[in-house]
Every structure is written in structure tokens, then in C-alpha cells.
Amino acid sequence: MRVSEMFMATQREIPADAEIPSHQLMLRAGLIRKNASGIYSFMPMGFRSYKKVEKIIREEMDKAGAQELIMPALLTAETYQASGRWEKFGPEMFRLEDRSGRPFCLGPTHEEPFTEAVRDCIRSYKQLPVTLYQIQHKYRDEKRPRFGVIRAREFVMKDAYSFDCDEEGLDISYQKMYKAYRAIFDRLGLDYTIVDADSGAMGGSGSQEFMVKSPIGEDGICFCDECGYAANEEKAECMTPEQDTSAELPVEKIHTPGVKTIEELMAFMNAQPSEFVKTILYNIDGKIVAVMVRGDREINETKLGNLFDATEMNLAAFDDVERITGAAVGFAGPVGLKEKIEVIVDREVSVMKNFIVGACETDYHLKNVNIGRDFTPDRIEDVRTAVKGDKCPRCGKPLGTARGVEVGHIFKLGTKYSDALGCIYLDREGRSNPMVMGCYGIGVSRTLAAIIEQNHDDDGIKWPVVVAPYSVIVIPTKVNEEENMNLAEAIYKRLQDEGIEVMIDDRNERPGVKFKDADLIGIPMRITVGRRAGEGIVELKYRAGGAVEEVSLEEAVMAAKSLVRSAQ
Ligand SMILES: [Zn+2]
């Protein structure tokens, strides 16, 4: 490709709304273009890399025996009503109507249409198992789209669904996908961690996420270097610590006027956050419950939601809190509640002694509260989010934490969708059974961004060869000098003949401008035709690093060939 003819739109300035390197670089290098908030076009250069990611995914999925098809993105409401997700998706689903007022949506994920298709086509155990996949646009009306294609409202996903006779079959299908995913992310050169993920209360028996560690990640990961345990923080289990055996002290009621936050309370009472227990009221599907965690801990709403198999969960409304506690918001506690509600105590709190809680009376707290003596919890559960230094649930060593971007997710669904949609088969004895399903996603556009997050420097992208839009760029420094240009053209032609994806920057620009663009776009190898063109000598430089080498035309071609081979 000739740069002079290329539809390319690199930008010198960092766009103001681009907060992270991959988003900035994809815009600056002209790989993507923003159409609207969370909606992007892939421009020619970006689309080349995008297609390479897709190709690797497709090859590994096919190798694992999955069959590709394509479903519509425009789907009827009925498709999602039977599973209950027409309601459950809420405002995240893009909804629309056809000309006769019939409701439709833009598919946020495709469990239902795949289940319908298999239900309508498969009758017998003899036709199972089957794994189907597609690479397609998905639509979610994110509250806050950000990070470019990492959290977009329209994005490309590879989604696969497996259908088996039983759990044992699902285990095999799941393992095949697990292996395929490892092969995909290995080939893409990503440094990733496989973590145990939340599979929800309704979800089947297991779920794992493929995470790329990154400070901008929206997911927290807990991991143990000792035994290899790794889990999403939504899932990571918190163990019950040792029982505090201190003597129980008498309860004291303390006047704490205007003191509402833990910080204010700490200062006021000259105590550590670990001596407080906060009591938070939730409205879970219309029922108010109180949840108690240590003052410096976060309630894990995924764990909490799973306890109740919650559809909708929010903090309780102020008037509910005031009615139930008989106090202003900020003074809730387990003692003196005006209405009987379920009180859930975190495992960690269950072994504490003499802690401080809200007094259920405006401007008052209680000190030296103890479980059993002063109140009795309805349930003791694991409802907090694990933090750095917590004990590993497997081996007891301290956990580390990191942020991660989820690029893949594999999930044992069980019979949730087959039960809801009547996706059954007849077994050997002629009895009908629901098919046992798994689902498997990869964010295709997001994976491309994750690759950039892991492969860039201040000058631009450093593409791994497998996904680079072009492998080599030839830069003549003096396009008006015949000798210079002839050698550049000769190398360009040779590389094309060798089947190498090559660009030539034949623009009448200063070399510095061309170098800057080549670095920004991140082409893995740069061949510069400069002052020694007359001797047939060119300069070779790798975007990954290293010094400039002076080589002959043939040596440059050899180096390019071995670079491309190394990526296959
Ligand atoms: Zn461990």
C-alpha cells in the first residue's frame, strides 16, 4: 500500500475525552473514528488489525469443532420475553418498534435466539453435542460508555453456545472452549490471567474470565502467588477470621451530633475503622434487608444479590431507612430497629467483639455492641469484597489484587435457557430432557484495545506482528531523488512478491514526519532508504526496540521474511 494513496487520518493532538492509552492511540493513529458516544467506526488501518484478531479467533473456534453462523442483530421482543430478559435488561437494552408498533431490540447477547434455533432443529440425543458461534455486533446502552472500544454501546463479540445432553457433556464442551481461548489469547501475544468468575445465583456450575491486567481495568482481580488461585473480586471468597476472644464490655450510648461518615466518626471517637460496623439497608426485589460489614469494607453487591437471587437491588430509599431505623440516614444499626427486617452479618463481623454501630437514633452511636448479647443476626454470610492481604481461600496465604480488563468469558449456563424456551431432546429411552448449555464470549474490538494497552510507548503503538495492519514500512527519505526512490520501490516490490504486507511512505514529507507516523501506527519493521541508497544500503529498525542496522536490500528482505515467519 502506498501511503500517498491511503485513506489515513492520523492526529497529532490527544483527543480530550480519551482517557487511556489505547483509546488515545487508536484515535491518533486513525484506527477508529468516533461517530457518537460509545459508537465507533473502524477505519481501514484499524480494520486490518481487527480482521486479524477475528481470523485467529475463527481459526481456533473452528479447530475446536464449533460451527460459525450469523444471527440477526434485530430481534423481536418475544425472543427475550420467554427468558424474562426483556424486563431484566432494563434500560441497557436498545429497544425499537417496527412500522406496525411491534417491539424489537438490538441484540445485547444471543442466548435466546441460539436456544430457539437449536430447539427447532434438534430432536434427538444423536444430534448432540453441538457448539455454534458467531462474530457479530452487540448493542448495550451503557450508562457511561468510555475507554473507546473497551466500553462501547455498539461492539463486536464472538459469542458461542454449546448444547449437550448432560453435565458431563457440558464439561467436555467447556474444556474445549477453555483450550481454544488459551490458544487465541496466546497467539495474540496477550499477557492474561484466567480467573474464577461469578456465575450468578441462577447460573450453572462454573464460570471463568480471561483478564488482561491493566490499571484501567473495570474488574478487580484477587490472586494468590502461592497456589495460583485467581478470582474476580465479585467472586473471591472471604474466609471467617479467628474469633476475637476479648471480654464483652457494657454497651455505651454515645452522643455523636452531626457525625455521619465513618471518617467523621473515627475522628470523633478516636477509633480505627476496623472497630466500626456499618449497617446498610438494601431494597432487594421490594424487601428491605440490613447488611453489616466492617467499617472499612465494601459490601459486595454481586454476592449479596446472589444470596437473594435478586432481579433488582438498590440501596433502600431514605424514607424507608428513616421509618425502619426511626432515625436520620447515617445512624442505622442492628439494635433498636422499629420494624423486623432480615439482618445479614458478614463473616468477618461475626467474630468481632465490642464494635461501634449506629444507634437507630439520630445523632447517637452505640459502643461495645456484641452479637448474641445485643442482637441476633438472621444470617451470617460472605457479603464483602476481598481486599489485598486477605487470606487465600485455598491456601491461606495473603492475596494480591490487580485491575483487569475482561477479554473473554466462559460460562456453564446449565438448563436456565433450555428450561425457559423448551429446548429439549429425546434421550436413548425416549424421555425428554432439557439440553445443558454453555456460553462463551470474546470481546473482539475490546481485545484489540487490550493488545494496544499492553503494547505501546510514548511514540505510539507497538503491534505484535500477528495483528499489525502491515508488517513492514519502507520509507524513502528523498522521494524526489531517483536513486533513493528506485531502491525504495525495489524493496517494496520484492517484499510484495514475497507475500509480505508492506507499506511504502512515498509522500513528499520530511523523514521526521514519516518516522513519527510509522511509530504512531506501530508497524513492526521500518526500512529506511537514506544517504547510502547509492550503495544499495538501507537502514533497518524494529518498532519493538533495538538499534538501527545498516543492511543490504537482500538482508532487509530476509529480515522481513523471518519477522513474519516468527509470528506464524
Ligand atoms: Zn493460595
Tell me: do 291 and 421 sit in the same domain.
no
Answer whether residue 539 is part of any domain: yes
Q: How many residues does the chain have?
A: 568
CA–CA dist 71, 308 (Å, integer): 34
| Distance from Cα 114 to the centre of ligand 1, integer Å | 38
CA of 219 to the centre of ligand 1 (A): 20
Q: What pLDDT digit, counting tens, does each position of 89-124 carry?
A: 888 999 999 999 999 999 999 999 999 999 999 999
State yes or no: pLDDT of 203 exceeds 90: no
Measured CA to CA, the distance from residue 250 to residue 246 in angstroms comes to 13
The answer, yes or no, to whether residue 66 has pLDDT greater than 80, is yes
**Span from the CA of 230 to the centroid of ligand 1 (angstroms):** 8
Question: What CATH number is attached to the domain comprising 560?
Answer: 3.40.50.800
173 plus 37 within the same structural domain: yes
For ligand 1, the distance from its centroid to the CA atom of residue 179, given in whole angstroms, is 23
Least confident of 82-96, 119-133, 451-465, 491-505: 82-96
428 lies in a domain? yes
Same domain? 40 vs 132: yes
What is the distance between the alpha carbons of residues 257 and 329, in angstroms, rounded to a whole number? 13
Instruction: State whether 353 and 496 are in the same domain.
Output: no
> Residue 63: which pLDDT band, with cuts at 50, 70 and 90?
very high
Q: What is the dihedral of CA 119, 122, 127, 129, to 10 degrees?
A: -10
User: How many angstroms does the Cα of residue 178 sit away from the middle of ligand 1?
Assistant: 22
Q: Which residue has the cell 464449533?
A: 66
For the residues of 280-322, what is the DSSP string, one character each? EEEEETTEEEEEEEETT--B-HHHHHHHHT-S-EEEPPHHHHH
Q: How far is the CA of 226 from the centre of ligand 1 (A)?
A: 5
**What is the distance in A from the centroid of ligand 1 to the CA of 387?**
14
331, 365, 381: which is the final residue of a domain? Answer: 381
Quickly tell me which residue has 435488561 as its cell.
89
Residue 560: inside a domain, yes or no? Answer: yes
Say how many Å lie between the CA of residue 221 and the centre of ligand 1: 14
Distance of CA 401 from the midpoint of ligand 1 (Å): 13
369 CA → ligand 1 middle, Å: 34
529: CA distance to ligand 1 center in Å?
55
- The amino acid at residue 271 is A
CA of 208 to the centre of ligand 1 (A): 17
What amino acid occupies position 285? D
Four-point Cα dihedral 478, 479, 484, 488, nearest 10: 120
The Cα 328–Cα 144 span in angstroms is: 31
Q: How far is ligand 1, taken at its centre, from the CA of residue 398, in Å? A: 8
DSSP structure class, residue 386: -
Q: State whether 176 and 129 are in the same domain.
A: yes
Position 108 scores a pLDDT of: 94
Considering the domain architecture, whether residues 120 and 36 belong to the same structural domain is answered as yes
With CA atoms as reference, report the closest residue to 158 among 430, 439, 489, 474. 439
Confidence bin at 391 (pLDDT 50/70/90)? very high
Name the one residue in this structure whose C-alpha cell is 473471591.
236
Grid cell in block for residue 97? 418498534
User: Distance from the CA of 194 to the center of ligand 1, in angstroms?
Assistant: 15
- Beta carbons within 8 Å of 157's beta carbon, 6+ residues apart: 109, 135, 136, 137, 138, 441, 442, 443, 444
In whole angstroms, give the CA distance from residue 306 to residue 383. 10
On the question of pLDDT at 196 being above 70, the answer is: yes
Instruction: Kindly state whether residues 303 and 261 are assigned to the same domain.
Output: yes
Give dist(CA 499, CA 566) in Å, integer: 15
Total domain count, the chain: 3
Distance 242 CA to ligand 1 centre (A): 18
Q: Is the pLDDT of residue 568 over 80?
A: no
Residues near ion ligand 1 (CB < 5 Å) are: 224, 226-227, 229, 392, 394-395
Under the banding of pLDDT at 50, 70 and 90, the label for residue 201 is low
Gap from CA of 73 to ligand 1 centroid (Å): 43
Distance 550 CA to ligand 1 centre (A): 51
pLDDT at 259: 80
pLDDT (0 to 100) of residue 143: 86
Residue 204 has pLDDT above 60, yes or no: no
For residues 381 and 149, which has the higher predicted lDDT (pLDDT)? Answer: 381
Distance 175 CA to ligand 1 centre (A): 23
Contact 521, 456 (CB under 8 A): no
Instruction: Flag whether 403 is in a domain.
Output: no
Cα 348 to averaged position of ligand 1 atoms, centre (Å): 19
Distance (angstroms) between ligand 1 centre and the Cα of 217 equals 23
How many A from CA of 239 to the centre of ligand 1?
12
Looking at the structure, do residues 266 and 177 belong to the same domain, yes or no? Answer: no
Is a pLDDT exceeding 70 seen at residue 207? Answer: yes
State the pLDDT at residue 226: 93
Nearest-5° Cα angle at 462, 554 to 179: 100
Domain match, 101 and 166 both: yes
Distance 447 CA to ligand 1 centre (A): 28
For residues 22 and 205, give the distance between their C-alpha atoms in angstroms, rounded to a whole number.
Answer: 35
Residue 466 alpha carbon to ligand 1 centre in Å:
35
Q: Are residues 91 and 158 in the same domain?
A: yes
When pLDDT is averaged across residues 483-504 and rounded to a whole number, the result is 96
Long-range Cβ contact pairs of 464-467 (< 8 A, separation 24 or more): 464/188, 464/189, 464/524, 464/567, 465/524, 465/563, 465/564, 465/566, 465/567, 466/52, 466/56, 466/187, 466/188, 466/189, 466/567, 467/49, 467/52, 467/53, 467/56, 467/188, 467/189
> Does residue 223 lie in a domain region?
no
Please report the pLDDT score of residue 205 as a whole number: 57
* pLDDT for residue 146: 87
CA of residue 227 to ligand 1 center, whole Å: 4
Q: For residue 436, what is its C-alpha cell?
A: 445443558
Q: What pLDDT score was predicted for residue 28?
A: 92
**243 C-alpha to center of ligand 1: Å?**
22
Q: Is residue 408 part of a domain?
A: no
Report how far ligand 1's centroid is from the alpha carbon of 228 (Å): 6
Q: What is the DSSP letter of 457?
A: E
* Spatial CB neighbours of 210, under 8 Å, sequence gap ≥ 6: 181, 185, 192, 193, 194, 406, 407, 408, 409, 442
Whether 234 is covered by a domain: the verdict is no
Average pLDDT estimate for 263-287: 91
Q: What residue numbers bound the domain in which 493 lies?
A: 470-566
> 223 CA distance to ligand 1 centroid (A)?
8
Q: Tell me, in angstroms, the distance from the centre of ligand 1 to residue 380's CA.
A: 24
How far does residue 396's CA lie from ligand 1's centre (Å)?
6
Q: Are residues 304 and 362 in the same domain?
A: yes
* CATH code, domain carrying 303: 3.90.960.10
If you measure from the C-alpha of residue 301 to the centroid of ligand 1, how many angstroms do you get, rounded to a whole number?
A: 24
Q: How far is the CA of 281 from the centre of ligand 1 (A)?
A: 33
Whether the CB-CB separation of 559 and 546 falls below 8 Å is answered with no
Report the separation in Å between the CA atom of 225 and the middle of ligand 1, taken as the mean of its atom positions.
7
Comparison of pLDDT for 310 and 516, the residue scoring more: 516
- Say how many Å lie between the CA of residue 367 and the centre of ligand 1: 36
Q: Residue 200: its pLDDT value, please?
A: 65
Task: Please say which residue of 336, 366, 381 terminates a domain.
Answer: 381
If you average pLDDT over every residue of the chain, what do you get? 93
Quote the ligand 1 centre to 400 CA distance (angstroms).
Answer: 10
**pLDDT at residue 12 in the model:** 73
| Residue 157 within any structural domain of the chain | yes
Within 10 angstroms of residue 298's Cβ, the number of other Cβ atoms is: 14
CATH code of 28's domain: 3.30.930.10
Q: Which of the four pLDDT bands, split at 50, 70 and 90, describes residue 62?
A: very high
Residues 486, 439 share a domain: no
Q: How far is the CA of 397 from the centre of ligand 1 (A)?
A: 5
